[in-house]
Structure 1
Amino acid sequence: MSFRTAALRVLPAALLLLSACSESKTKTETATSNKEETMATTADAIDSTKSASPGSKEKAVATANKPTVAPDTAYAQDVAMFLGGLQPSQHSNLTALAATPAWQAFAKDQDKSWEKYRATHTTRMTKWASTELDSVHANSPTIFYPFSGPDFLNVFTMFPTSQTYVLMGLEPVGSIPARTSLENPKLLPAVKTSLWSVLNFSFFRTNDMAVDLKSVELDGALPLMMLFAARTGNQITAIRPIQLDATGQLQDASKDSIQAPKSKSIPGVEMKLRGPDGQPKTVYYFSADLSDWKLNAKKAPLEFVRHLGPLTTYVKSATYLMHKSYFNQVRRTVLRRSRYILQDDSGIAMKYFQKGAWQFNYYGTYRRPINLFAKQYQPELTTAYRDSLRKPKALPFGTGYNWRQTDSNLLLAKRQVPLAD
């Protein structure tokens, strides 16, 4: 059975489960509890039921940051290729592992999955972005992608010419997999399972991914970021552990500082790449909770973002967090510091965009959110999508929680007034 057929058969059941989860969760949501709700609790809500992905687990595990080490660059690139089902370099010490029947079968399966993904997503996204985002690309050296997890795949596909990508999510940073982890017979099935939802529905099921990868000692976002870099034609040239101090300044993260981090520091990783066109790129990932409650204690993530200069912000499958009053700080930063915002309806609610300050282009189709997020329905978007004078443009690929092409939407907001100081 193909991935597409399997996905279509199991999705109705998965959405019914999500709906049931939503009903029990939303009944307990009150104004007094909002103050203490964080990204973590919202991630738990979306992941508390299971889709019918192969090998999904029934239990969650706690994840912890593990220090990365300065790698041999060739080894890091070979690991990325190996995890992505691509042949490591000829002189790599992973060639023996890549010659095993298990890896050969995995590589064949991955080639098939990625070929399908290219046909249904990458090729269409690239063509769409080259026309609809042409002027955005010319003015977007830095992309901010909050609530991203390890999703370098989609942000690079949308913005292939940018120089710097800043990703933030709840997932721990992780480390470059050791040889012993790559030899684990459970590794390849776990990687396949972790990629299943993003290659079929375009978004991660975060807690499932953490369970599967933690079980084979892939301990955070970095291994999948490396995999996505390899599968998008980028070459890893350097990886180093970093952290943000209390003021948002970027620092090297020594072994001691990671083992005994300062109370206000934020762990991260810097991945240097050579793009398919030969141009250098830098990817940052920071493990950070962006709820107001957490940012009041650790302001570093947004302090770092505020000093990056004008941004283009990308938001996808963000569990509607910036619709809520207790994600005010990150929402305000995005609105104040961005020249462009590309998002699906799970990003910033329309009511928060200052009237007259933004020009909007609508793409695809806006329908009600899936049942888990039914409360986040926006009548303003329905009105905009029914405007007969400014009809929305076509969106030739699926994205977000309403993952079918016929149900997906994107909004491009272009700033019309000067950036705030």
Structure 2
Amino acid sequence: MYFRTAALRFLPSALLLLTACSESNTKTEMVSKTAPAAEETMASTAAAMDSTKPATPPAAPQPKRLTAPDTAYAQDVASFLGGQRPSQNSDLAKLAAQPAWQAFATDQDRSWAKYRATHTTSMTKWASTELDEVHRSSPTIFYPFSGPDFLNVFTMFPTSQTYVLMGLEPVGSVPARTSLESPKLFPAVKASLWSVLNFSFFRTNDMAVDLKSVELDGALPLMMLFAARTGNQIIAIRPVQLDASGQLTDAPTDTTQAAHPKAVPGVEMKLRSPDGQPKTVYYFSTDLSNHGLQVKPAPIQFVRSLGPLTTYVKSATYLMHKLYFSEVRRLVLRHSRYILQDDSGIAMKFFQKGAWQFNYYGTYKRPINLFAKHYQPELTAAYTDTLHRPKALPFGTGYNWRQTDSNLLLARRLIPLAD
């Protein structure tokens, strides 16, 4: 407890210098062997943000058999991981009766109660008023650089039908029983959730180490946990992929053949929301840098096919400020009716003059030291405009995670969408 309290005194800058945030939390920029030496991509940013770890590219994933899991088992696993009791007839009921899980569940209930009090309640109330018009016109939410962060996007946009998340984290799979029996499981889950529940973003590299230690192999287990803790019921989980043309297809199940070099792995999670409405959540593991999209353009093609978008960007390590992420930035600006972002999203200079209406919330200060070069004088001018004062933001979000330091921008398109 002493060390956690001490860490809070030095956040946000000290925390971020020791950790890598999720593209969401993970936003990374890897220098490819085939790319120019100066080019940044998503993996090099994550490595640069974590000075305690070497900057090594991720290992190529090995082909594995992918099958759709039993729905009841998937829901029970989601509950179990979130510290909520699985169904009485579940094979996990005996594990949930053990003292270790019961202590974990008590701790999770306490952590989530605190999170609801400090974040969810305020976020839900704020979104129901300030985003009311957006909710009525946002069937599809695009969340680039999200990592597994279904938690925040669902809280902000609870009425949407489809959520498209993209990050560098591997897709992962529904955890096997052997993983759930591991004594390392509960500490790993608690460590992975600690920063997102306290500061709204993931410590990506630490999360990867924690989860791999118990063979939780990617984003899906945490997405399932967030679904359960937000009151959603898992109806189905299906391994999918985007083919070379950006079409959504079932993932191959043949373990003897590697995936097509231009295919993008993903997962489809069907949910029933607390009010009974169907939801579909997609997660794709992909590099959204210009070089990554040149190698695998399927994500751009898929997002273009979704129709008018509402885009959500949070804790994005200022990637779309950079030249090397101009393609995904252009995609968002050309195909979004609404953009909700903190200052780490798209820089103000890239919004076409006269094409957008802006609503400012919270407080804009200089970015934390790690991202000081991404300071925006345009935002300072907007936030100090005495004739059009920014509105209050009753919760903390992003790298300046304290409520008194956080900001959000809602951009509403004024001109027709691009074809």
TM-score, normalising length from structure 2? 0.92
Query: 2:24 maps to which residue?
Result: none
Q: Deviations over 1:363-382 (max 9, x none)?
A: 00000111111110001000
Query: 1:25 maps to which residue?
Result: none
Q: Deviations over 1:56-84 (max 9, x none)?
A: x9x99858476542111000000000000
User: Structure 1: which amino acid aligns with 2:39?
Assistant: E
1:328 & 1:61 partners in 2: Cα distance?
23
Which moves more between the two structures, 258-267 or 156-165?
258-267
1:147 has 2:150 as partner: no
- Equivalent position SS for 1:267: strand
1:282 has 2:280 as partner: yes
Q: Deviations over 1:302-361 (max 9, x none)?
A: 100001000000000001000001101000000000000000000000000000000000
User: Structure 2: which amino acid aligns with 1:93?
Assistant: D
Q: Taking structure 1 as reference, are residues 175 and 18 closer, same or farther at Cα in structure 2, changes over 3 Å only?
A: closer
Q: Is the 8 A contact 1:47 1:206 kept in 2?
A: no
Structure-to-structure mapping, 1:79-118, within 5 angstroms: 79-118=77-116
Q: Deviations over 1:125-173 (max 9, x none)?
A: 0000000000000000000000000000000000000000000000000
Q: Is the 8 A contact 1:67 1:258 kept in 2?
A: no
Selected match of 1:209 from 207, 227, 237: 207
Q: Is the 8 A contact 2:362 2:391 kept in 1?
A: yes
1:39 has 2:39 as partner: no
Q: Is the 8 A contact 1:181 1:217 kept in 2?
A: yes
Structure 1 residue 34, shift from structure 2 partner: 7.3
Query: 1:370 maps to which residue?
Result: 368
Ranges in structure 1 where 5+ consecutive residues have no aligned partner? 20-31, 51-56
Structure-to-structure mapping, 1:183-262, within 5 angstroms: 183-256=181-254, 259-262=257-260
Q: Taking structure 1 as reference, are residues 197 and 64 closer, same or farther at Cα in structure 2, changes over 3 Å only?
A: farther
Which moves more between the two structures, 180-189 or 39-48?
39-48
1:67 & 1:318 partners in 2: Cα distance?
32
Query: 2:11 maps to which residue?
Result: 11
Selected match of 1:299 from 280, 297, 300: 297
Query: 1:158 maps to which residue?
Result: 156
Q: Taking structure 1 as reference, are residues 73 and 368 closer, same or farther at Cα in structure 2, changes over 3 Å only?
A: same
Q: Taking structure 1 as reference, are residues 235 and 12 closer, same or farther at Cα in structure 2, changes over 3 Å only?
A: closer
Structure 1 residue 229, shift from structure 2 partner: 0.1
TM-score, normalising length from structure 1? 0.91
User: Structure 2: which amino acid aligns with 1:172?
Assistant: P
Q: Is the 8 A contact 1:144 1:312 kept in 2?
A: yes
Aligned residues: 404
Structure 1 residue 43, shift from structure 2 partner: 1.6
Q: Deviations over 1:204-240 (max 9, x none)?
A: 0111111110111000000000000000000000001
Q: Is the 8 A contact 2:396 2:404 kept in 1?
A: yes
1:397 & 1:218 partners in 2: Cα distance?
31
Q: Is the 8 A contact 1:243 1:269 kept in 2?
A: yes
Query: 1:182 maps to which residue?
Result: 180
Q: Taking structure 1 as reference, are residues 331 and 67 closer, same or farther at Cα in structure 2, changes over 3 Å only?
A: farther
Structure 1 residue 8, shift from structure 2 partner: 2.1
Structure 1 residue 44, shift from structure 2 partner: 1.5
Q: Deviations over 1:9-60 (max 9, x none)?
A: 35267258469xxxxxxxxxxxx9675311111121223359xxxxxx9x99
Query: 2:344 maps to which residue?
Result: 346
Q: Is the 8 A contact 1:76 1:176 kept in 2?
A: yes
- Equivalent position SS for 1:255: coil
- Equivalent position SS for 2:120: helix
User: Structure 2: which amino acid aligns with 1:335?
Assistant: L
Selected match of 2:379 from 371, 375, 381: 381
- Equivalent position SS for 1:413: strand
